[in-house]
Structure 1
Amino acid sequence: MKNIVFDSDSLIKLTKAGILEKVIEHFICSITQEVYDETVVKGMERFYDDAFQIDGLIKKGKIMVKNIENSNKASNILKGSSLGRGETSSLHLYFNLNAEAIISDDRAFLNVLQQNNVAFITPADFIVRSFELRILSKDESLNALDLIEPYICNYEKAKSEMEV
């Protein structure tokens, strides 16, 4: 199974899309303590449903919370950036685990990843890819995209890829 790293943004969007639990069955999914704190701890304090759902998946062992070790590669990439703790810790974890990709929809983070040839995929593209891999049906994928349309930047592109 492929190892993927989620940042807070992607974790929340895929939960809102209603497909996180189904797709994570096909991957080794990891987050950092910082992402857990941002997504689950702060989310539960505000009674966000997605925070409770994500916490349940962590308790079931479907998403692993990992401690990070400093990665020289990540540190060099992050020099001079003003990314948040969740994004920076996710990049360190990506290198720690030698992960396949980072899932994010944070524009600044994606720019840093792209400039440094770090593998990433957006939540919308992840939904399309899950359809292509037959993890999700076409209806499940289209419904998931519709549910997160207000929150994602490449909705039209993803939707058009589903129509092909």
Structure 2
Amino acid sequence: MYNFVFDADALIKLAHSGSLNIICKTFQCVTTSEVKREVVDEGKKRLYSDAEIIEELIVSKALEVNEVSGDTSQRLGKGEMSVFSLSKKIKNSIVISDDRTFIKLLEREGIDFLTPSDVIILLREIGKITNKDKDKFANNIKSFVSEKEYKKIMEE
């Protein structure tokens, strides 16, 4: 089984889509303490609804949080670099991100990744959601993703 390693943006987008709970019940899902701090701790201070959703998944152990530090010399944030470091430590890991700069680093390093849109499509392909669900999830994040990513989900 694959281990999905999430950065902050991916967690937020998939929480907004409504699909994160299904993803975390279908796959081994993990993030870092730095990402948790960004998304949950800071998000709750700002009353972001996605922070509560993500925290519930952590409390229920559907989303694991690992302590790892990341080198910040790559012009990326602490969260992305901690995810990068964690992905190198976990076997069969796939990073979930749509940060273009981060994805370029992953490509250079030969690290597998999927975008949040890819994960929604994957849920449909493996029969975990219906086409109607897929379209609903896409519409829920339409304002958070590029037109290209939105169309990719809708055209699958």
TM-score band w.r.t. shorter chain: over 0.9
Instruction: Tell me, in whole angstroms, the C-alpha distance in 1 between the residues paired with 2:31 and 2:92.
Output: 11
Instruction: Tell me, in whole angstroms, the C-alpha distance in 1 between the residues paired with 2:26 and 2:76.
Output: 29
- 1:84-103 deviations in Å (ceiling 9; x for gaps): 00100001111111243000
Question: Are 2:144 and 1:151 aligned?
Answer: yes
- 1:38-76 deviations in Å (ceiling 9; x for gaps): 000000000101101110110011101101267xxxx6x
Match of 1:23 in 2: 23
Match of 2:130 in 1: 137
Structure 1 residues 95, 151: closer, same or farther in 2, change over 3 A? Answer: same
Instruction: Tell me, in whole angstroms, the C-alpha distance in 1 between the residues paired with 2:79 and 2:69.
Output: 14
Please tell me whether the aligned partners of residues 69 and 82 of structure 2 are also in contact (alpha carbons under 8 angstroms).
no
Percent identity of paired positions between Structure 1 and Structure 2: 32
Structure 1 vs Structure 2 CA RMSD: 1.5
Q: TM-score, normalised by structure 2?
A: 0.93
Please tell me whether the aligned partners of residues 138 and 150 of structure 2 are also in contact (alpha carbons under 8 angstroms).
yes
* One-letter amino acid of the structure 2 residue matched with residue 49 of structure 1: S
Q: TM-score, normalised by structure 1?
A: 0.88
Unaligned runs of 5+ in 2: none
Unaligned runs of 5+ in 1: none
Match of 2:113 in 1: 120
Instruction: Tell me, in whole angstroms, the C-alpha distance in 1 between the residues paired with 2:58 and 2:91.
Output: 21
> Match for 1:97 among 90, 95, 103?
90
